[in-house]
Amino acid sequence: MSLAEKLARERRARLAAERLLEQKQRELFKANQQLAKHARALSEEVVEQRSVAESARSEAEQIKGQHRRVLSDLERANSLAQMAERRLWESVETIRDGFAVFDARQRLVAANRAFLVVFEGRAEAAPGVSYRRLLEICAHEGLVEIGAATPEAWVARTHARLDSEPIEPCVLHFRSGTCVRLIDRRTQSGDMVSLGLNITETLRREADLEEARERAEAASRAKSAFLANMSHEIRTPMNGVVGMAELLCDTELSEDQRLCADTIRSSGEALLAIINDVLDYSKIEADKLTLHPEPFDLERCIHEVAMLLQPDAGSRGIDMIIDFDMFLPTRYVADPGRVRQVLTNLVGNAVKFTEEGHVLIRVMGYEVAPDGGGDARQLHITVEDTGIGIAPQDQARIFAQFSQVEDQSNRKFEGTGLGLAIARQLVGLMGGDIWVESDPGAGACFGFSVTMPVAEADAAPLDAPLAIGHALVVDDNLVNRTILERQLVPYGVEVTLCRSGEEALAALDAGSEAFDVVLTDHAMEGMDGLAFTAELRARGHAMPVLLLTSNPAVTRDDPAAAGLTGIVQKPVLRRDLIARLQQLAPPAGGGAGGRAMRVLAAEDNRTNRLVFARMVGDLDIALEFAADGREAIALSDSFAPDLIFMDISMPGLDGRAATRAIRAREAERESPPIPIVALTAHAMDMEGDAEGMRADGLDAYIAKPLRKSLIVDCLQAHRPPATRPLARMAAE
């Protein structure tokens, strides 16, 4: 082999070795890279594992800390629970009532000392004892009073309560004198809680209260009896005082004598009003005041109240005016006595606090449908005056008992302060409302609203034709003129209104109008009604003239009244006015003949007989007196009265017994019953005994002291058609 070949071979071998070296170096480099990558990955894994281990160690430390805190909190909560339980039982132990807990098997779990004290000395009365066993201990060892029952029956009955839901309480009377009300309640877990309430003091207080109530009722009965007796004892002599004073005022007296007589009369009436207020308020206070509804004429009731208060109003020149809605019925069903009492209080106050001007009683209403069906009206009755008025701050308390507005303007007015309080209570009993509207110095308006069923139609409806086409009304008061116009127009009467006598004479002299009747007020400024009538007659006018007056002393016998056709007392009742105008038509014939009305009055008191006789002395009646009940029975046969006034309190046979005997005789003979009206000083009893009064045969009652107007109205209401008219009616 040549050298060149050797050199070429070596060179090829060296190149192959270099290529192999390069390859191995590349493999080594690649291996180194892979190794470095693994080394880095291993390093990162080591770091991560180290971080996880560190985190695990940290979490372990945290868990150890939380565990320590939980253990601490648990220990503290356990301590608090033990403390709360201890406090709870300490609190339960301090109460005087028994407290116990039983498990679902009715075994005692725990109880306070008050629950276990009744079992003192009995070792088995401890936690674990059964509910039934505790009852057996109570019954068999005589701890409780079980009455006539056997111990076994009592235990069975008392334990059987636990089967009901809710469990009925029971009362245990221990022989030691303690009374316990046992109340058992189940819990949601099935346990049962028992509470033994010590009601010993409660029962003792209830017994004391019951005894006090009985004493109070006895005192109330005694008070009622006292008031009833005092009512009679006071009213009887008051009848003599007021009645004789009223009669004395009708006689010829000197100025001083009349002043004394008027003072006696007014003082007696004031005392009677106080007595009535006190009696009524005591009945309201005792919840004994009841209503007795019956048909009555509301318009006439208002008229009677106005006439009763007219003398006081007329003496001061105050006009008393009634404005009753023409489209309203006049007859309703209510308690007329109580309606009259409310009206008397309101109108009396208006008159008392009015120095000049007028008092207007206004009635309005509308139809309503009552619950029980039928016909009814919602009535609004107001009493308006032109008096001193009431300040706003005083209006809220004006209806309170014993309340009077005290200021310089009304300090001179006296009263009990009960009138408006009684009126409010009465209106409330009627199911109505009462109110007041007023401004100081501008008068006041008191009103009340009630619903009243309409009664049957009037016995004598005002449907007879009027022989009057045109009326002249003369009055200086606008309200009076307006009301008279409203009363006449619905009957087809044309009305001309004049404000004075001079204006009316001018209208008459003009001759442009023909008047069928003249209605003139009496007390007018300038030319009064009598002077106007005299001048009218002097000028040759012959039409009828009716004088409307508030002065009862004016009669047809007065020379100044010679030109009058008739006199109508104010306030004018619509029915009376229309009836008087109907009488202006030419009579159909006949006269005023017939016999006198026969009246029997049974009265044992000589003074009262004298008062009654003087009150009816000017009436055309035949009067007889009976001194007691037996004489009244005899005279009811021999005298055959048309009406009997029966005193209730008479010695021997009283008025009620006499009335029953008279009714029995009438039933035997089948004769018509004689109207019998009770005269009584026991008005308080009669008001609350309507059924008893009817059962005895009494038709009505009049309270003493007697008033002439009520006696006359009663006579007029019961006068038979065949008898002569009463002299008082003829005098008008």
Residue keyed to tokens 């306030």: 571
User: Using an 8 Å Cβ cutoff, are 500 and 529 in contact?
Assistant: no
* DSSP string across 553-588: T--TTSGGGTT-SEEEESSPPHHHHHHHHHTTSPP-
- Residue 521 is encoded by which pair of tokens? 């007020």
Q: Which runs of consecutive H residues, i.e. helices, occur in 141-180?
A: 151-160
**Residue 374: closest CA among 319, 257, 455, 280:** 455
Residue 235: CA atoms inside 13 Å, Cβ hemisphere, count?
26
The pLDDT value recorded for residue 360 is 93
- Contact between residue 572 and residue 322 where contact means Cβ atoms under 8 Å apart: yes
Beta strands in 92-173 (DSSP E): 98-102, 108-111, 170-173
CB 715 within 8 A of CB 619: yes
| 3-class secondary structure, 444 | strand
DSSP string, 513-526: S--SEEEEESS-SS
**Two structure tokens written together for 701:** 């009652």
The whole model's pTM is what? 0.48
pLDDT of residue 458: 47
Which of 203, 182, 201, 204 minimizes the C-alpha distance to 193? Answer: 182
* Cis peptide, bond prior to residue 571, ω within 30 of zero: yes
Strand 676-680 to 643-647 pairing: parallel
Which positions of the chain have pLDDT values less than 50?
A: 402, 406-413, 458-462, 586-592, 728-732
Tell me if 196 sits within 8 A of 181, measured CB to CB.
yes
Which tokens hold the place of 597?
A: 């009305």
For 20-35, letters b (16+ CB in 10 Å) and e give eeeeeeeeeeeeeeee
For the chain, the straight-line distance linking the first and the last C-alpha, in angstroms and rounded, comes to 194
Give the start-end residues of each E strand in 316-460.
319-324, 331-334, 358-368, 376-385, 433-438, 444-453
* pLDDT given for residue 224 in this prediction: 66
Q: What share of the chain is helix, strand, coil (3-state, %, to 5)?
A: 50, 20, 30
Check residue 292 and give its pLDDT: 83
Distance, CA of 29 to CA of 286 (rounded, Å): 125
Retrieve residue 407's tokens: 């200021």
Q: CA neighbours within 13 Å on the CB side: how many for 315?
A: 8
Tell me the C-alpha distance between 385 and 445, whole Å. 7
Per-residue confidence (pLDDT) for residue 730, from 0 to 100: 36
CA distance linking residue 526 with residue 446, whole number of Å? 33
In whole angstroms, give the CA distance from residue 576 to residue 583: 11
Q: Report the relative pairing of strands 179-186 and 170-173 from DSSP bridges.
A: antiparallel
Q: Which tokens belong to 354? A: 């009015």
Question: Within 10 Å of residue 495's Cβ, how many Cβ atoms?
Answer: 17
Residue 191 — left, alpha, or beta (φ > 0 → left; ψ -120 to 50 → alpha)? beta
Burial degree of 550 (CB within 10 A; 0-12, 13-18, 19+): buried
CA distance 256 to 264: 12
- Name the β-bridge partners of 509: none
Q: What is the pLDDT of residues 503-518, one digit of tens each?
A: 999 988 887 678 889 9
Strands 98-102, 192-198: pairing kind: antiparallel
Tokens of 302: 């208002």
Q: State the Cα–Cα distance between residues 551 and 570, nearest whole angstrom.
A: 8
HSE toward the beta carbon, residue 666, CA cutoff 13 A: 17
Identify the pLDDT of residue 695.
83
Helix axes 151-160, 131-140, angle to 10 degrees: 150
Secondary element (H or E) of residue 703: strand 700-703
Strand pairing class (444-453; 470-474): unpaired
495 near 513, Cβ under 8 Å?
no
Helix (H, G, I), strand (E, B) or coil at 400: coil
Of 414, 409, 386, 249, the closest CA to residue 320 belongs to 386
Query: Are 451 and 324 in contact, with CB atoms under 8 Å apart?
Result: no
Peptide bond connecting 166 to the previous residue in cis, omega within 30 degrees of 0:
yes
Scan for tokens 């008031």, then name that residue: 227
As given in the structure block, the two tokens for residue 215 are: 């004493």
Is there a contact between 111 and 124 (Cβ–Cβ < 8 Å)? no
Output the pLDDT for position 283. Answer: 67
Q: 567 to each of 89, 355, 479, 557, how far by Cα in Å?
A: 95, 26, 20, 11
SS3 211: helix
Residue 164 gets which letter from DSSP? S
